[in-house]
């Protein structure tokens, strides 16, 4: 399994939980979301 994907999924679940509890995100959380977006875009780009 892709370690990065596993890590990102775990972190995104944690961030989602934070948001469900109406807690604010940290800058680190935003960076993780950004990395997940960039990796998704890279994957999409490589398929084109």
Start-end of H helices in 1-48: 3-20, 27-47
Q: Centre a 10 Å sphere on the Cβ of residue 11 and count the other Cβ atoms it contains.
A: 16
Q: Is 17 an interacting residue with respect to other proteins (CB under 8 A)? A: no
CB of 13 or CB of 31, closer to other proteins? 31
35 Cβ contact partners less than 8 Å away, ≥ 6 residues apart: 8
Interface residue with other proteins among 20, 21, 24, 47 (CB under 8 A) is: 24
The residue written with tokens 């780009």 in the block is 45
Least distance to other proteins, CB of residue 16, Å: 10
Q: Is 14 an interacting residue with respect to other proteins (CB under 8 A)? A: no
Q: Is 35 an interacting residue with respect to other proteins (CB under 8 A)? A: yes
């Amino acid at each position: 399994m892709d370690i990065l994907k596993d890590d990102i999924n775990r972190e995104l679940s944690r961030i989602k939980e934070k948001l469900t509890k109406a807690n604010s995100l940290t800058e680190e959380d935003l960076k993780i979301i950004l990395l997940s977006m960039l990796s998704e875009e890279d994957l999409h780009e490589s398929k084109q």
